[in-house]
Structure formats: C-alpha cells, structure tokens
C-alpha cells in the first residue's frame, strides 16, 4: 500500500514539473495576445523633455511608447531610433530610456541642444545662400528648430549671425566656432552680433556695446587665447565708458584699439 502511495506521489510530482517547465518555455517564447493586451493596459510612462520643443520631442516619446508596447523590448526601441534617425528628425541630442518591470513604468528622458548662432552659408560670391542653426554640439540644424523654440518661449534672446563661404563649412570650422562661442563669458556673448569667416579663414567679430558696433579682427588662428584678451578689453572699456570702433587682435602679442571721434 505504501508503495502505491509513493508511486502516486511520484507521478503527481512529475506532472507538476512538466506543467511548470511547459509554462516556462511558453513564457520564453513571448506573451500571448491576451498577455500582451494585459501588459499594454498596465504599462504607464513618464517623460521629461528637458530643453526640447514640446511638439517634436513629444512625438518621439509617443513613438517610443508605441514600439515598446508592440515588442516589450528596449533593444527594438533603440534600433528604431538609430535606423530611422529619430534624433535628427526630432532635434533630440541626448536620450535615456529605462523600464522598471516591477512598477511597469517606462521612463523617458530626452534633451535637445542649445542654439548658439544663425548661420548664413553663402556661395557664388554671395549671390546664393542658405541658413541653418548652429547648436552647442557643433551640428547645424534646420531653422525650424529656432522657430519651434521661440513659439514655446524656450528661446527669447536674439541669436548672433555666423557668415561664411560654402567651402569653409567643414567639421573643424564648425567645432572651432562652436567652442569659441561656448567659451565666451555670458556677458561678452550677449554683446555678440555677428561672426564672419572669409575665404582666407580669417575671423571677424562684430560686437554691439551699448548700441554701438565694434569690429574685432581675430585673424586666422589662436582664437581661444584672443577671446580671453577681448573679454578683458571690453570690460575695461565699459568701465571707462569708451567704446572702441575697432579692436585688432590679428597679432596676439599686439593689441590695437581705435576709436571714432563721434558716435
């Protein structure tokens, strides 16, 4: 009798193990339609759009949620972002997406670059030109980006202009000019009106100081060092209430300042 009880117990144990193993295998193959529907109804998400314009960044966030609901895979989401270039399409420079399976919350953190300058790239001796926005990661974006930020009052100050010939618009030039503007003290950057790069890669900066223009000739090199000197000159001249019409920093070891007789 004890033998049959033991045999019965063993059979029941085997059946339970088979059911457990079957359930594990089924789960590893992915959720059924009912399970997927239950998953989607329980899923919630939080989004932080940072400095981004709401409309494009919000659209990207919804796209991310949609893809995740379909596949329940962050890997699929990442592949979609990369293959369809969502970062470029929606002006997103940085993103972090996480999912907590316990709380069933999808956490999205998106951020967008800071616009630095309006860029006017000209060709055919200035007869033709097109515009873009230079942002703090050195990229050029469509002017629509500025319009979107202004419509939401996330950009309220005027952007200075950068003018340069088409042949000079290369990665190094973009990087050099971007770093130059980013390294400017906020007070000096606020006076920046226009930056001009000619065919010889000589840089000229136009400042607006108390409503008066001041031309700064920077030459073709050592821009970072010269910006430091320019900042000191502008500070000193403002204290003296004298606005130079020309500041020549072409030779970094010799500074030439010229004034107009009258403004």
Q: Where in the chain is the domain with CATH 3.40.50?
A: 115-258
pLDDT at 41: 59
54-72, pLDDT tens digit by residue? Answer: 999 999 999 999 999 998 8
In this prediction, residues 132-145 reach a mean pLDDT of 93
Instruction: Please check the confidence at residue 18 and state whether its pLDDT lies above 90.
Output: no
pLDDT at 35: 44
Nearest-Å Rg of the Cα atoms of the chain is 30
Instruction: Map tokens 């009880």 to a residue.
Output: 5
**Spatial CB neighbours of 123, under 8 Å, sequence gap ≥ 6:** 129, 165, 166
147-171, pLDDT tens digit by residue? Answer: 999 999 999 999 999 988 766 556 6
By C-alpha distance, which of 201, 200, 159 is closest to 181? 159
CB atoms within 10 A of CB 233: 17
CATH of domain 115-258: 3.40.50
pLDDT at 224: 86
Q: What is the mean pLDDT of the chain?
A: 81
Q: Return the beta strands (E) in the chain as ranges.
A: 44-48, 94-100, 105-111, 115-123, 128-135, 140-141, 161-165, 192-197, 203-209, 212-219, 246-248, 256-258
């Amino acid at each position: 009798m004890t033998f049959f009880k033991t045999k019965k117990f063993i059979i029941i144990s085997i059946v339970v193990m088979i059911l457990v193993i079957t359930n594990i295998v089924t789960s590893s193959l992915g959720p059924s339609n009912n399970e997927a529907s239950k998953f989607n109804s329980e899923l919630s998400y939080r989004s932080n759009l940072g400095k981004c314009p709401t409309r494009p960044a919000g659209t990207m966030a919804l796209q991310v949620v949609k893809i995740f609901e379909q596949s329940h895979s962050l890997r699929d989401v990442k592949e979609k972002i990369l293959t369809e270039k969502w970062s470029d399409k929606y002006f997103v420079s940085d993103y972090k997406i996480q999912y907590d399976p316990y709380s069933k919350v999808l956490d999205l953190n998106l951020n967008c670059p800071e616009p630095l300058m309006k860029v006017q790239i000209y060709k055919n001796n200035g007869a033709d030109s097109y515009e873009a926005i230079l942002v703090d990661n050195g990229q050029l974006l469509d002017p629509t980006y500025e319009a979107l930020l202004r419509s939401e009052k996330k950009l309220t100050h005027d952007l200075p202009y950068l003018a340069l010939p088409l042949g000079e618009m290369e990665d190094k030039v973009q990087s050099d000019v971007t770093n130059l503007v980013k390294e400017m003290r906020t007070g000096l950057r606020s006076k920046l009106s226009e930056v001009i790069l000619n065919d010889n890669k000589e840089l000229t900066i136009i400042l607006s100081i108390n409503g008066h223009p001041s031309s700064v000739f920077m030459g073709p090199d050592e821009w970072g060092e010269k910006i430091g000197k320019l900042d000191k000159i502008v500070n000193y001249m403002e204290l003296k209430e004298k606005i130079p019409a020309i500041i020549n920093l072409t030779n970094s070891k010799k500074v030439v300042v010229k004034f107009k007789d009258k403004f």
